[in-house]
Chain A
Amino acid sequence: MAVDLKGILSPFSALKQGVKPPHTVRFPREKKETAERYRGLHFNDLEECIGCGSCATICQNEAIDMIKIEGFETKDGDSGLRPRVDNGRCCWCALCVDVCPTGSLSLTKDYIYVTDDPNAFLWTPGVDNPDGKEKISFTSEEGKPLLDYQRIPMRELEGMERVKSFAEVVLGYDEEEARKEAARCVGCGICTEVCPVHMHIPEYIFAIGRGEDEAAIKIIYDNNPLGETCGKVCTRRCETVCAISKRGEPVAIRWLKRYATERANNADLIEEIVNPEILPPNGHSVGIIGAGPSGLTAAYYLSLRGFDVTIYEAKDKPGGMIMYGIPKYRLPLESIEKQVGYMQKMGVKIKYNTAVGKDITFNEIKEKHEAVLIGIGFEKPYELGINGEDAEGSIQAINFLRMVNSERPVDIGDKVVVVGGGNVAIDAARVSRRLGAEVTILYRRRVEDMPADWEEIEGAEDEGVVIHPQAIPLEILTDENNHVKAIKYANAEMIPDPNGGRPRPKIIEGDEHIIEVTAVIAAIGQGADYSFIPEDIMEKIETKRGRIVVNEKQQTSVPWIFASGDIANFRADAISAIADGYRAVKGIEELLLKKEK
């Protein structure tokens, strides 16, 4: 066999390698810089993180636990928890980083981490590496976002088209839009915490996203029988804390709820879909004063639990403030009637045109029922307290809205000034536009201080309402027939509060102006009227700043009397009223069923 000389000699050429420098890095004498996007240890910007837990959910190794750490408390929009990574399980895929909606989570440049602490593999990013910020390498900023930060826009009637009628402004999502919008949710549930009634938001959104609208409706009705109302007019605290809102537009929770609930377009269909369990009658009877959102909610769930419930309502229609206080272009009459119609099918009895204290006495109600829930709302408007207020053409916004909503004639002429900055003021202004008037809003503070929803404010502006901030009305001027002729106001400057509170408006001396008007609508707030409650009982009910004091189950200092809605909470919105009603059910149940045992 021939000798393969080349094959024997050529390997020896490797010897030349001996004189070349090695290509290895002699650590720690030499260091190797990591690449810009190296996926090293986790870092979390603890202040930015909201504890949504999306990182923990996506981690397929279940390497992340959400834990309580010192210095971070649970508050609105922040669970107070922070991720802790088990480096024994982590595979450094950085999916947690890519899905973190706030962008607080990242990976650092650390190649090597040496410690003598055997428990250090349990790693709380940001706590265990407070200096991690300087070493950040892999971030979600760099790539294309994995989450959808853009909201599916809501179709609306065009601004000047709207003022021609009371047609609903918001047109609602169609099926495809709803599915897409729902699919943006990360399901963290941060919203659930701030919702006064703790609706199962991620659950119903998920159902909508999957095309299971009926399941969504069922979930919504689990703790809110006025889901459709909320879907149209809720103040939606949930959206303000939505995890997606940190880097994008919050999920349109309200519009999704609206989409789902509107699918059931009559009371029979709601019944068919929700098909709730109704317990047999338990022999207990509850009287509810006021068919507003809190009273209706309590009545519905009490009925399902076998109570005999009667609502006493002074007016001829249900809904209270949502019927009379919210303009039809936001919440059509049929919608309320449909929702209440369903409740009546479930056994809720409503006596209309029955004003307590007039058509029936409070004591009579007391005789008839074992427990009474008062949910009368704030119906008594505050006065402006200026001269000329009682003139013809000077009206209170809620009276005005009520008249318009019940289709009674109101003459406001063609030039209206609305005083106030809350939702009621904006509603009054937008309704006035629809009645053909030019509208100016006078508001004491700055636009950004207005308590109204920003969407409502924008809506009003789109429709041609002029907002005049930092304007304080001084006097209403009248003509010889004692009819409103003009309003005199002064401009104000904002004085910072030395105690760090809201800046206060202060009149600028001499900067006074007069606007000619045909009507002045006052919308600076309302209070309650308790005159129907007999004095001896009222004496025993504890009140505070015009509101009735209740415990966490809405019970007053008189055990058989419960209170809910605007008279019992400071939030003055429908969803808080609904939450009160829901809580009152528990209180009443406990009171009456415990008595039995």
Chain B
Amino acid sequence: MREKETTLYLGPQHPGVTGNMMVKLKVAGDTVVKAETHVGYLHRAFEKLMEVRSWMQCFPIVCRICVPEPDPNEENLARAVEEIEGREVPERAKYIRVMVLELARMASILLWMGGQSGSAGLYTMPQWSVGDRDYILDLFEELTGGRVYHMYIWPGGVRRDLPEGFEDRVLKTLDYLESRLPDYDHLMFENAIFQKRAKGVGVIPKEKALEWGVVGPPLRGCGIKHDVRIDEPYEVYDKLDFIVPTYEGGDVWARAMVRRQEFEQSISIIRQVIEKMPKGDYYNKVPNPFNWIVPPGEAYVKTESVRGEFGYYVVSDGSLKPRRIHVRGAAYVHGVSLLEKILVGANIADVSFIMNSLGVCPPEIER
């Protein structure tokens, strides 16, 4: 006899959902039979808004597309505009940008550690990792004036130079965070319960991963080496020495291990950046923002965000405002088509857990 199916709405207000979206589940017993992602709970029409904003006014909008890791948005907008304009970016600014992007990646991974273990019932971890993330936010506050929304990377370079002695404080924070890694390992990654929950759960079949458009840690967790920073290096990534960790299995565990290693890679990248960063200019000024016209043209740029390849398609018709800005984040795939596929057959208790492992960010789905 077929078990009775029940419809269950997970979210939009649910501590296990990574932001404001809803997954409509059909469950038979404890098993998910069908999953459907529903968005529309936070649509702020970023893309449309920017069509009626001047180029400079778009700058403070884009960061809000992703709270935990806003910086790739700023990076993409800046690089796209620079590409259309043919604007040079000072070398120092490129290094600073990489530092910011990697700090943001680390802060995001810390937040993910909290979410991933929290959704498995391991509540000590979020307290540690979110607390430690604040040391990175302190750095952001010092560098950019804002803890969460940095509004710092903009066309032409970065908004302000590094404050006196900032590099030392970054290094100190990196040392501290590195010293915390064994603690995280003991509590989370070596934890038998966590491993049991993570292994074999939320599996993405390797042979389907590329076809489905999976990117970032979920793809690398299928053993496929793909990372924009290496494949199509931007800023100064080609001058830095780092590896792209991969892991076989395609499950939550593999994704977790990838991120765990990426955290260490980011530490190494930032240390290299500080060592190699030249002195000099940090900003090649754009025209007066009130009269800033970007010449007609289009650009597609991409950045490796913590969730994976993150693209911006920007079109200018030669006016004061963008004609079109299209945002293509990893979550668009991970949170909709991928999630709907791999939730089928999962246990209800694993739904949030799987979602967390994919880095689903609803504002990236509805821009």
Interface residues of A (CB under 8 A from B): 4, 6-8, 10-11, 13-14, 17, 23-24, 34-39, 54, 57-58, 60, 91-95, 98-99, 107, 137-138, 142-148, 182-187, 206, 209-210
Contact = CB atoms under 8 A, between A and B. Distances in A.
* Chain A facing B: main interface SS: loop
Contact of B57 (A60, A98, A145, A209): A60
Given A60-B61, A137-B145, A36 B291 contact: no
B151 interface: yes
A187 B290 contact: yes
Interface stretch (B97-105, B235-243, B281-289): B281-289
A54 B160 CA distance: 21
A524 to B, nearest CB: 44
Contacts, number: 118
Given A14-B187, A54-B290, A137-B145, A4 B195 contact: yes
Contacts of A37: 142-145, 160, 163
A99 B289 contact: yes
Given A37-B163, A91-B149, A143-B159, A182 B195 contact: no
A92 B152 CA distance: 12
Nearest to A7: B192
Contacts of B191: 7, 10-11
Contacts of B124: 14
Given A38-B146, A186-B290, 5 more contacts: A35-B163, A58-B56, A95-B59, A183-B291, A187-B290
A172 B222 CA distance: 67
15 contacts: A7-B192, A8-B192, A10-B185, A11-B191, A35-B163, A38-B145, A39-B146, A54-B290, A57-B290, A93-B59, A93-B60, A137-B145, A144-B285, A147-B288, A184-B291
A586 B215 CA distance: 70
B288 A94 contact: no
Interface residues of B, number: 44
B172 interface: no
The 4 A-B pairs at the shortest CB distance, nearest first, are namely A7-B192, A93-B60, A60-B57, A39-B145
A182 B292 CA distance: 11
Contact of A184 (B144, B160, B195, B288): B288
Contact of B151 (A34, A35, A94, A182): A94
Given A37-B142, A37-B145, A91 B195 contact: no
B289 A58 contact: yes
B293 interface: yes
A144 B56 CA distance: 15
A10 B190 contact: yes
B141 interface: yes
B290 A35 contact: no
Given A8-B192, A185-B288, A143 B160 contact: yes
B64 interface: yes
A184 B291 CA distance: 8
A13 B289 contact: no
Contacts of A148: 287-288
Nearest to A3: B192
Contacts of B186: 10-11, 13-14
Interface in B100-146: 124, 128, 131-132, 134, 138, 141-146
A187 B320 CA distance: 14
A6 B138 CA distance: 35
B146 A60 contact: no
B14 interface: no
A146 B291 CA distance: 12
Contacts of B193: 7, 11
Contacts of A14: 124, 183, 186-187
Residue of B57, B59, B149, B293 with highest tally of chain A CB at under 10 A: B57
Interface string B147-181: 00101000000011001000000000000000000
B110 to A, nearest CB: 13
Contacts of A99: 289-290
Interface string B310-328: 0000000000000000000
B53 interface: yes
A105 to B, nearest CB: 14
B187 A11 contact: yes
Nearest to B146: A39
B290 to A, nearest CB: 5
A34 B141 CA distance: 8
B57 A13 contact: no
A546 to B, nearest CB: 45
A185 B290 contact: yes
A513 B144 CA distance: 66
A186 B56 CA distance: 13
Contacts of A57: 290
A17 B134 CA distance: 18
